[in-house]
Chain A
Amino acid sequence: MSEIPGWVKALKPSGPQGSELLEHERNKSNIDVDQLSTFLFTREGMERKKRILDILQKEKVFDKSQNYFAGRIDRFETALARAKRLSQLQDAHNWTQDDKMVANDLISEPGPYGLHEGMYLITLRDQGNAEQHEKFLKPAQAYRHIGCYAQTELGHGSNVRGLETTATWNPEDQTFTIHSPHLTASKWWIGSLGRTANHAVVMAQLIIGGKSMGPHPFVVQIRDLKTHQPLPNIYVGDIGPKFGYNTMDNGFLLFNHVKVPHISMLARFSSVDPKTNRYVRPASPSLVYGTLTWVRSTIVMQAGGVLARGVTIATRYAAVRRQFQDRDAPEWEQGENQVINYTTVQIRLLPLLATTFALHFTGKGMMALYAANQKKMSQSANSGDSKRGAGPEETHSGSDLLADLHATSCGLKSLASSTAVEGLEMCRRACGGHGYSSFSGIGPWYADYLPTATWEGDNYMLTQQVARYLLKSARTVLKGGEPTNDTTSILSYFLKRQDQGAAFDILGSDSDLVSAFAWRASFLTFEALRHRDEQKKAWNDLLVDFYRLSRAHAQYIVVKNFYETLQAPTSELSSETLAIMHKLFRLYALHTLESEASEFYTSAAVTVRQIQLARTNAVMNLLTEIRPHALRLVDAWDFPDWQLDSSLGRKDGKVYEDMFHRAAELNPLNRVTINPYPDSPILFQNNDSASLKSKL
């Protein structure tokens, strides 16, 4: 294809330019963007991002312009080159782990070292003993060992107990034999395993003297450190292309009677005594699952930011894009209406905008709770509390802080990631036809984020754990136990008041709004308890109720965290900004309440009249009040254009120029001239796409 001719270069978008429209939008609001960003991310966090962005943008290997065009193999190869370069940069600039996480965020694609850094190192650190730290952790930190975490199998996902891979203890030579008895025992989905890792933490059923002791972690070398070929009797490879995540080599792994030494079993919490062949019980097995709880907490934290990317793109584009003339517009107002002025667009985007903040603050709250809990647990682990049962599937007494954290993390993970996933797709669709283009930046991002709704516990399966915990708490309360945490407090309150009823002023008082959410969650808890304990309904028949219950509880936690964040002394925010944040809180809460109206109504937390007023007046008014600030609010999320990689979401509003530039100039397909006639076997008459690549 010839060069872009002058008459094309001279063309401009019609009507008001995107940059003018966005400037106009920003002038409508007096929110101090920098101040709000600082409140969200801290000054230090923002400076860190800027410092690292400067370094990355200078490195050609991180150039994103061909990402959307490349095939699977090219994408993986480039991702590996990027991962390597990033580690070199980490050495050169003495980056901390936090620095590297920011770099990964900015690059925004899953990388082949992802599971080495995200799971392998952490598992070795948390679950290995001193000797194992020396033997495994040190070479892993030096990237001589590159590892992954091999838990799920072809036939088994969320249920760890169902795993089929076995590790049989051999007393005669003090080794374990790792073996895959069936095809469904193949490890599957394991990130960084397919092509990258030379080691794996393998979760396998430990068998001693013919008796199964449940799943345990083993460190196994799987590839030769020189040739990188699989070791004998190990079959390993990449599982193939996926919806997203194609820069990651998710892998499969099979063992054919592979022997590993005694030291391979990670022994901080449980071990086999090589002299007596006896299984030494874990000191506090709950700690084993600490990693998973931590991962869930970060998922909640990230969900706000993940969604905010979609909302930023969709909101900016909705301000630039114009469609149809306003039917009621006066004659002197010429031209098509900005799409953001349509209430059908506002009702999709603005509640999502409110949700980004709600999730962010909730994530922050969760992380704080997690830190406090870790501190407490490491103290009690030393004092030798050995009576707990194993596993995250069973929680403990209703007053237990761990149980509360675990249940909260399950319910919130489920709600937050589902909300982000659905919200992103809604943002993509709100962009109209152009949302379907890869250049919108939403589609590929959505595809990479999607698996979060399944991994670390399927979002539906997880809700059973929340329900189980809430039912136990309710039983404790019914027996007259004193409230020891927030969950038991709200349940007790409900129990005391249920016969008097509640009169929450949801439209007049923010704290009443929070209480209405607590009331509805409590109501659903006791309803479920009645079904289960009095009516003796089958667990399986109640799963839909449990899902709703978990969702109600998680929504309460989110509303509560949002509210409390704004109640805390926030001298960091100007009064104007704080007022808008309060409106966002109300929009999130009322919009959620309205979408779940029947539960609120049935629980008698609110009246039908209140719901009607919330829908027709309160929410609509909030949309109008927040609308002028939408642009600045998304600006506060502080996404660099380089990170968004989106034509539609550009900060300067040059949407159409960028779409055209990418299509006409960066698109390798346009360097190809084809032969379209069916009787000719020629497909591509000439192909200059390679020369384009070398030019860029």
Chain B
Amino acid sequence: MPDFADKLKPASPDGPSILAKERSQSDVPVDELAQHLLSRSDFLKRQEKILPVVSKDPLFNKTKQMNLSRPERYQLGLARAKKLRLLADQHGWDTKDQEMSQYLCDDVSPFMVHVSMWINTVREQGDDEQRRYWLPKIEAWEAIGCYAQTELGHGSNVRGIELQSRWDPKTKEFVLHSPTLTASKWWNGSMGRTGNHAIVIAQLLVPKSNESKELVNHGPHPFIVQIRDLKTHEPLDGIIVGDIGPKYGYAPMDNGYMLFDNFRIPHSAMLARYSKVDPNTSKYSKPANTAVVYGSLTFVRATIIMHARLIMARAVTNAVRYTSIRRQFSDRDSSDRSAPELSVLDYTTVQIRILPLLATAFALHYTGEAMHNLYEGTRAEIEKGDFGRLAVLHAQSSGLKSLCTELAANSIETCRRAMGGHGFMASSGMVQLNNDYLSKPTVEGDNHMITQQTASYLLKRMAAAVAGKGKPVDEVERDCREWLSKEHNRKMPTPKVLESDEEIVDAFRRRSRDQTYRAYVERDIKKRSWNSLLIQLRKISIAESQSILVKNFYDGVQSSTLSSPARKHLSTLFRLFALYTMDAEARDFAKAGAVSNDDLDELPFKIQELMAQVRPHAVSLVDSWKIPDFLLDSALGRYDGRVYEDLFNRAHRLNPLNEITFNPYYKNEEIIMGSGGGDVEKLLAKL
């Protein structure tokens, strides 16, 4: 319907001209940098290929979805997931293409676990016969699966789960049973409504011998279980399964609960690549290395870190573009009273919130790359039966996952708030992003809990280094020994972090070693209890992870073959990230003798100086992440800067609430104007 609002324009200067000016003032080689950041697995090419297909399809139109109820959101998610699979068949998309379509669609898919944990677990933990039997069915989406590990009463601690799988030698079956309510599987994605199969993790109970009644608990093991009828999709007898209800985000995902009542499954259900029960003798044989059970968890963590950088880049893209356009208050030092209001990004209080995060997105990138390489390397070794590096990988992946997801989750909210009031609107593109991403700090291991794994590993290596017997088992222990003999005894000069990037890297390393050593003294020498040290242990995990981030960032920029403008900006971002992080943890660096007090005092000024260097290039730097408008789904962060037109359009023309006229007078029982009453009764029926 045409109305007078159609002719109105935003007050000048308008968004497009502001962004054009920002872009023209910067020498950042956007396309070169984009290639540098997004080449792994042809990411950018893939994005260009898939985007037109997905964005043209009306089913993937995102503008009204935030108005829907939970069941409607699930229904929409299901429709989209099916459609994406059909598109994949039609266009011959490979797995990476499908992941890209999922990423651009940006709605959590009810099949997410099916295409990740479910298939990966079968692939990695099934024996050859199991793989032959299951993988074709899984790839055809006939056996639709999920991964049921956590329970109502048990999260990160796999050993604490209660579901039992008892081997019955007579029938040669396993009996799955939930002895308590807290044994209910809980949170398991794709299980509530979608999956017809599940990998179920249960405590394996095996009789001492075929005749014995005494059961031995061999700990948690994975079983493949059909949970729903393949025709009617109703749960099988003896299984209760359903969706756990609405969450902070993840609306289209049917996280589920599941209980078993003495439910029998055949011998072939136990994934038998590493450990098995002999069907005739009932003898249990152990896996070569127990840590291998966590292999797929480690893979998921590596992927999470790669994903985190794109999430941050997205949040920062929205924030940088909008705060460049948004104006508020005139410069207090300007003598011209009629001067236009300042761009919000010119305020240092806004810069200090956004620009270090921009730098952090790059920092995560280089560690993501390095982690990826390390995972690929380790995986090949595991395939060969060599588990040696798994300890390093596992320890690093948990600490890094914790730090990186926390950084990314917090960055969304920090950016959203820096965007002022409009950041609260769904059309800012920050709301669903925040809601969906916030699960990450707890999914796959609570961030506070899993840092213990990293800390525990570091403490062991430090203890071994102090003992100093034989050859060091890995590079961390080797470095601990080095540190003990040199820096620990203050034999080396204090790094000059304001002068040399290399010495920044060294300062982070020294501070991490120092933190580990102090914790080692508390634990191993003073014999303090583990629980009383948890806060300190978390800190050593963070210190080590930050040190890895800084080192990878430095190495990544050094070893790149980029043009000199690109390197110049990346070096500035490196310093901003490193010094900003250092400033926040200044006391630790001082204590470790890793930075001089004079340098620490100087940090806030140096950071402000670095921000001033980044500021004119901020728009181009976020452009280089090439996040398409379709993915941003943000009126505030759109590439062309037509912020206010889009905000208004979404509110005015794309808002279903405005299609209803309500009756606001409280003495009148009508809720909807002209309904003639009875509205409250209809509502009550829904409550």
Please give 17 more A-B residue pairs, beta carbons under 8 A apart, in addition to A238-B651, A597-B587: A14-B180, A70-B70, A87-B666, A155-B326, A181-B11, A235-B3, A243-B434, A344-B448, A436-B248, A436-B439, A657-B181, A659-B186, A663-B245, A664-B240, A667-B245, A669-B193, A696-B687
A453 touches B417 (CB 8 A): yes
Give the distance to chain B from A524, nearest Cβ to Cβ, in Å.
13
Find chain A residues with CB under 8 A from B593 CB.
Answer: none
Taking residues whose C-beta sits less than 8 angstroms from the other chain, chain B's interface range is 35 or more
Q: In this assembly, does B257 line the interface, its C-beta being within 8 Å of a C-beta of chain A?
A: yes
Q: Is A214 an interface residue (CB 8 A)?
A: no
Instruction: For the complex, give the distance between the alpha carbons of A239 and B431 in Å.
Output: 15
A183–B648 touching, CB < 8 Å:
yes
Across the two chains, which residue of chain B brings its CB closest to A547?
Answer: B349
Chosen A-B contacts, 24 in total, with CB atoms closer than 8 Å, are: A11-B259, A81-B683, A143-B665, A188-B422, A194-B657, A196-B662, A228-B663, A228-B664, A240-B66, A240-B67, A240-B425, A249-B657, A342-B531, A460-B347, A540-B332, A659-B186, A660-B181, A660-B257, A669-B74, A669-B242, A669-B243, A670-B192, A672-B71, A673-B233
Is A479 an interface residue, CB under 8 A from the partner? no
Residues in chain A near residue B193, CB distance under 8 A: 669-670, 672-674
Per-residue CB proximity of B468-488 to A under 8 Å, as 1/0? Answer: 000000000000000000000
Q: Mark A76-115, 1 if CB is under 8 A from B, else 0.
A: 1110110111011000000000000000000000001100
Please, which residues of chain A bring their CB within 8 A of the CB of B434? 243
Given contacts A183-B8, A429-B442, are A327 and B156 in contact (CB under 8 A)? no
Instruction: Point out the residues of chain B lying under 8 angstroms from A433, CB to CB.
Output: 150, 155, 187, 442-443, 446
Contact across chains for B9 and A544 when beta carbons are under 8 A apart: no
CB distance from A478 to the nearest CB of B (A): 21
Q: A343 to B522: give the CA distance in the assembly, Å.
A: 15
With A249-B657, A254-B5, A436-B442 in contact, is A240–B427 under 8 Å at CB?
yes
The answer to whether A8 and B587 touch (CB under 8 A), given A60-B687, A183-B644, is no
* CB of A166 within 8 Å of the partner chain: no
Q: Does A574 contact B (CB under 8 A)?
A: no
Is B39 positioned at the interface, with any CB of A under 8 Å from its CB?
no
Q: Is B103 an interface residue (CB 8 A)?
A: no
Of residues 449 to 464 in A, which have CB atoms within 8 Å of B's CB atoms?
450-451, 453-455, 458-461, 463
B358 in the interface (beta carbon within 8 A): no
Docked-complex contact B664 and A240, CB < 8 angstroms: no
B interface with A by C-beta (< 8 Å): 3-5, 8-11, 66-72, 74-75, 78-79, 81-82, 85-86, 110, 141-142, 144, 150, 152-157, 160, 162, 178-184, 186-187, 192-196, 232-234, 240, 242-250, 254, 257, 259, 261, 326-329, 331-333, 341-342, 346-350, 352, 413, 416-417, 420-427, 430-431, 434-435, 438-439, 441-443, 446-449, 529-535, 538, 586-587, 604, 608, 644-645, 647-648, 650-652, 654-658, 660-669, 671-673, 679-680, 683-687
Interchain CB contact (< 8 A) of B248 among A88, A323, A443:
A443
> A184 and B11: CB pair below 8 A?
yes
Cross-interface CB contact of A112 among B179, B349, B664, cutoff 8 Å:
B664
**Are the C-beta atoms of B424 and A8 separated by less than 8 Å?**
no
Tell me the bound Cα distance from A4 to B74 in angstroms: 23
Chain A neighbourhood of B651, CB < 8 A: 237-240, 252
Residues of B within 8 A of A11 (CB): 178, 180-181, 183-184, 259
Contacts of B656 on A, CB cut-off 8 Å? 72-73
Q: A678 to chain B: which residues have CB within 8 Å?
A: 81-82, 85-86, 141
Q: Are B684 and A73 interface neighbours, CB within 8 A? A: no
Contact A460 B679 (CB under 8 A): no
A669 touches B78 (CB 8 A): no
When chains A and B are docked, how far (Å) is the Cα of A539 from the Cα of B329?
12
Bound together, the chains give a CA A670 to CA B70 distance in angstroms of 11
B242 A663 Cβ-Cβ under 8 A: yes
Q: Which residues of A contact B78 (CB under 8 A)?
A: 674, 676, 683
Shortest distance in angstroms between A344's beta carbon and chain B's nearest beta carbon?
4
A65 within 8 A of B: yes
Kindly identify which residue among A88, A155, A157, A432 contacts B666, using a CB–CB cutoff of 8 Å: A88
Point out the residues of chain B lying under 8 angstroms from A345, CB to CB. Answer: 448
Chain A: CB-nearest residue to B423? A454
Whether A454 lies near B240 (C-beta < 8 A) is no
| Closest Cβ–Cβ distance, residue A669 to chain B (whole Å) | 5
Residues of A close to B416: CB separation below 8 A = 243
Taking CB atoms, residues of chain B closer than 8 Å to A76 are: 657
Q: How far is the CB of A596 from chain B (nearest CB, A)?
A: 11
CB distance from B586 to the nearest CB of A (A): 6
User: Are B666's CB and A66's CB within 8 A?
Assistant: no
Contact with B683, one of A78, A241, A336, A539 (Cβ below 8 angstroms): A78
Known: A1-B242, A241-B426, A323-B155. A14 touches B183 (CB 8 A): yes
Complex Cα distance, B424 from A453, in Å, reads: 11
- Pick from A71, A237, A538, A656: contact of B69, CB below 8 A: A71
Given the complex of chains A and B, what is the CA–CA distance between A249 and B655 in angstroms?
12
Closest A residue to B65 by CB, please name it: A241
Interchain CB contact under 8 A, A667 and B144: no
A189 within 8 A of B: yes
Does A322 interact with chain B (Cβ within 8 Å)? yes
Q: How many chain A residues touch the partner (CB < 8 A)?
A: 154
| Residues of A contacting B195 in the complex (Cβ-Cβ under 8 angstroms) | 676
Closest residue on chain B to residue A454 by CB atoms? B421
Whether the pair B608, A541 counts as a contact (CB closer than 8 A) is yes
Chain A residues, Cβ within 8 Å of B658: 194-195, 237-238
Question: Is A326 interfacial (CB-CB < 8 Å)?
Answer: yes
Report A-chain residues with C-beta under 8 Å of the C-beta of B242: 1, 663-664, 667, 669-670
The complex places the Cα of A155 from the Cα of B644 at a distance, in Å, of 7
Q: Identify which of B10, B150, B245, B438 contacts A662 (C-beta below 8 A).
A: B245
Q: Which residues on the B side are within 8 Å of A679 (C-beta)?
A: 86
Asked if A666 is at the interface (CB within 8 A of a chain B CB), the reply is: yes
Cβ B425 vs Cβ A242 within 8 A: yes
Does A146 lie at the interface of the complex (its beta carbon under 8 Å from any beta carbon of B)?
yes
A186 CB–B CB distance under 8 Å: yes
Q: Given A72-B657, A81-B679, A241-B426, is A323 in contact with B449 using a C-beta cutoff of 8 Å?
A: yes
Determine how close the nearest CB of chain A comes to the CB of B264; give it in whole angstroms.
15
A74: shortest Cβ distance to chain B, in Å?
6
In the complex, which of the residues A437, A461, A463 contacts B247, with contact meaning CB atoms closer than 8 Å? A437
B5 touches A183 (CB 8 A): yes
Q: Say yes or no for A159: interface residue by CB 8 A criterion.
A: yes
**Interchain CA distance A174-B515 in the complex, whole Å:** 75
A185 to B341 CA separation, bound complex (whole angstroms): 15
Residues of A close to B449: CB separation below 8 A: 323-324
Determine the distance from Cα of A682 to Cα of B49 in the docked complex, in whole angstroms.
Answer: 29
Cβ–Cβ contact B192 & A669, under 8 A: yes
A81 and B333: CB pair below 8 A? no
Chain A residues within 8 Å of B644, by CB: 154-155, 183-184
Q: Please, which residue of chain B has its CB at the minimum distance from the CB of A328?
A: B529
CB closest chain-B residue, reference A451:
B424
Asked if residues B328 and A157 are in contact (CB atoms below 8 Å), the reply is yes
Q: Are A656 and B182 touching (Cβ within 8 A)?
A: yes
